[in-house]
Amino acid sequence: MPSSISCLASLKFDDQYFLASSMDGSIKLYDRRMLQRSAVQSYEGHVNSHTQIQLGIDPDERYVMSGGEDCKLRIWSIKSGELLLEDKFSNSVLSTVCYQTFKS
């Protein structure tokens, strides 16, 4: 990562993969087996320069979610990197996000 790391989150479906966000606003997916190379996937649009902001991963590990210093919530597809949602839900930084699971 080119800047200080803000959050690390490993994926359970394959423990070789982990997501990392940094203070320069980047969020990237890495494969531990290929750390000498670049990231496997990048997620564009995250805004961060000095706040420790957590990443949220849905239970099926299809989406990654994060707040930003611009007070927006963003959700990306883990696989494709596509930004699926970007909306301002708050007037303050969303530094912690989580997914709630529902049982039927």
pTM of this structure: 0.84
**Domain count along the chain:** 1
Tens-place pLDDT, residues 57-67: 999 999 999 98
Q: Give me the pLDDT at residue 54, please.
A: 87
Note whether 7 and 20 are within 8 A (CB): yes
Compute the mean pLDDT over every residue in the chain, rounded to the nearest whole number.
87
Tens-place pLDDT, residues 67-101: 888 888 999 999 999 999 999 978 888 777 776 66
Tens-place pLDDT, residues 22-39: 988 899 999 998 877 889
Q: Which domain holds residue 62?
A: 5-88
On whether residue 94 sits in a domain, the answer given is no
On whether residue 99 sits in a domain, the answer given is no
Mean pLDDT of 15-21: 92
Domain harbouring 23, CATH code:
2.40.128.630
Tokens for 14, please give them: 């394959």
3-state secondary structure (DSSP) of residue 27: strand
On whether residue 102 sits in a domain, the answer given is no
